[in-house]
Structure 1
Amino acid sequence: MDLTTLLGLILGLGAIVGGYLMDGGHLSSLIIPSAALIVFGGTFGAVAAGFPGHVLKSIPQALGIAFKQTKRDSSKNIEEIVDMATVARREGVLALEQRAQEHPNPFLKDGLLMVVDGTDPELTRQILELEMDAVEHKVEGMAKVFEAAGGYAPTMGIIGTVMGLIHVLGNLDDPGTLGPAIAVAFTATLYGVMSANVIYLPIANKIKIRAKEQIAEMELMLEGILALQAGENPQLIKKKLTSFVSDKKATKNQPEEGALEGEEK
């Protein structure tokens, strides 16, 4: 499990509730079933209305991506590809068939099998790039579900607050109940804003980060497969893939152009 996701949610919710309690608030005042029904039920309903069924069915998988720690070892992938390139140069690509059939990574498995079958390199690239696009599109769709929920939730909170205030204004005969009733009404806004910014949007962001990591891994494998297919020297393949990973990290850590211009000014 990715503890950063879980700890982040706990820390965010705990800070909000803890700050409220420090000011003398009571936890029972935050538990309003009617407000929760309006905000969470309305948000889920809006999301269901806005996305097709096959996307909604992927929500459990999306949560798994956000909460599950996926180990990605670029160095191990590079060493494995270099080892296979060495075998291919010494014994031919057909010697990789059994190894390709048993490989646990479906993307690398497909690429190796195409190499063994003698598929044209350009066609191999096109097919694997289409697979990458499909994965990216699918994961982006998962993230958009939570982004949409993060957009709907505050609005549902406002709706719940307005409905509560309507109820308050309709019962002005008893001024002593106005304060508590208004507080209950604004709880809906709290639910909406809190759930959007502490739950839905952070999860969407984590899913998008995971997608970028997966695509980067697939890009490395693609370059390795094509180099292996071209019969390149294993040491040159290792150098190329290692520099490929280094370039990715450098690009990721490089300041934005606007920031550099700002420093120069």
Structure 2
Amino acid sequence: MDWASLVGLILVIAGVVSGQLIEGGKLSTLLQPAAFSIVAVGTLGAVLMQSRLSTFRRGLRMLRWIIIEPPDTSKKNIQEAMVWSVVARREGFLSLERYMSTNGDPFIDKGLRLVIDGIDPIRLKDILDVDISLYEMEQRQAAKIWEAAGGYSPTVGILGAVLGLIHVMENLSEPSKLGSGIAVAFVATIYGVGLANLFFLPVSNKLKEIIGKEVTRREMLSDIFFSIALGDSPRVVEERLGSQKG
């Protein structure tokens, strides 16, 4: 579990709530269903208009990474790579087949299969690099839905404010309705700006960092498979891994 994200989320909520209370305001003032509906639904619609449904769904699934970050298997992969290198050197590439489908990582299985099939090392590296590029593109596109939400929500919040003020102007003859209209106007702006800067954009940046780590891990594996396919000794593979860790 990523405690930094969890604590950050708690601090965001605590900061807004405490600020409202210190100023002598009421929490109920911040709870405006109309304002939230305008910002949330409007932002959702804008993001859906610019994204494919599959990309949007992938971005939603990635949200859990903010609290439960995918496990970092880099160290485990380095240990496995040394075993693959020794076994391939002693027993040949076909002996690597027993290591396939043992860790649930499709990228590792693909790399091992290419080595076992005797693919030319340069060609193998090209295939894996293309796979990495496609993975990175798809993941970053999915993460961008949160960045897009962070861009749209302040504008939608302003739209909500304008709608609230229009409602106020329409009811100038009814003072009892003025308070709710003004509240919707200002709270919509708070929702729009607050969600953008305290949730959507931080989520987007965190996901980009996680994706970057996974891309680096795959690039390391690509270099390992390339080295094994070249027939490098375990010592050379270890040196290559050392440069990766550095």
- Report if TM-score (shorter chain) is over 0.5: yes
Match of 1:144 in 2: 144
**2:32/2:183 contact within 8 Å kept:** no
CA-atom RMSD in angstroms: 1.7
Deviations 1:60-90 (CA, angstroms, capped at 9, x unpaired) = 3221333322221433222211111111111
Specify the SS of the correspondent of 1:162: helix
* Matched letter for residue 185 of structure 1: A
Unaligned runs of 5+ in 2: none
* Structure 2 letter corresponding to 1:18: S
Cα deviations across residues 193-250 of structure 1 (Å, max 9, x unaligned)?
A: 011111111111111001100000001111111111111121221122122221xxxx
Residues of 1 paired with 2:33 and 2:102: CA distance? 53
- Contact 1:97–1:116, Cα closer than 8 Å, also in 2: yes
Q: 1:70-219 counterparts in 2 under 5 A? A: 70-174=70-174, 178=178, 181-219=181-219
> Which whole-Å deviations, capped at 9, do the CAs of 1:91-148 have from their partners, x for residues lacking one?
1111111112434221111111111111111221111111101110111111111111
> Which region of structure 1 is more displaced relative to structure 2, 218-227 or 96-105?
96-105
Q: Evaluate the alpha carbon distance shift between residue 24 and residue 235 of structure 1 in structure 2; reply closer, same or farther with a 3 A threshold.
A: same
CA distance in 1, matches of 2:103, 2:174: 73
Shift, 1:162, TM fit: 0.5
Q: Which runs of 5+ in 1 are unaligned?
A: 247-265
Q: Separation in 1 of the partners of 2:103 and 2:55?
A: 29
User: Structure 2: which amino acid aligns with 1:226?
Assistant: F
Taking the aligned partners of 1:104 and 1:146, their CA distance within structure 2 comes to 28
The answer on whether the counterparts of 2:43 and 2:156 sit within 8 Å (CA) in structure 1 is yes
Change (3 A) 1:177 1:37: closer
Aligned residue in 1 for 2:61: 61
Query: 1:179, CA displacement in angstroms?
Result: 5.5
Q: TM-score of the superposition, structure 1-length normalised?
A: 0.87
* 1:184, distance to aligned residue in structure 2 (A): 3.2
The count of aligned residue pairs is 246
Amino acid at match of 1:158: I
Deviates more, 1:177-186 or 1:10-19: 177-186
Rounded to whole Å, the distance in 1 between the matches of 2:47 and 2:138 is 17
Native 8 Å contact 1:13 1:198 kept in 2: no
Q: In 1, distance between residues paired with 2:186 and 2:67?
A: 31
Taking the aligned partners of 1:103 and 1:183, their CA distance within structure 2 comes to 55
Identity of aligned residues (%): 39
Which whole-Å CA distance do the structure 1 matches of 2:60 and 2:170 have between them? 42
The aligned counterpart of 1:50 is 50
Contact 1:111 1:222 in 2 (8 A): yes
**Larger mean Cα displacement after TM superposition, 156-165 or 54-63:** 54-63
TM-score by length of 2: 0.94
Residue 176 (structure 1) shift = 7.4
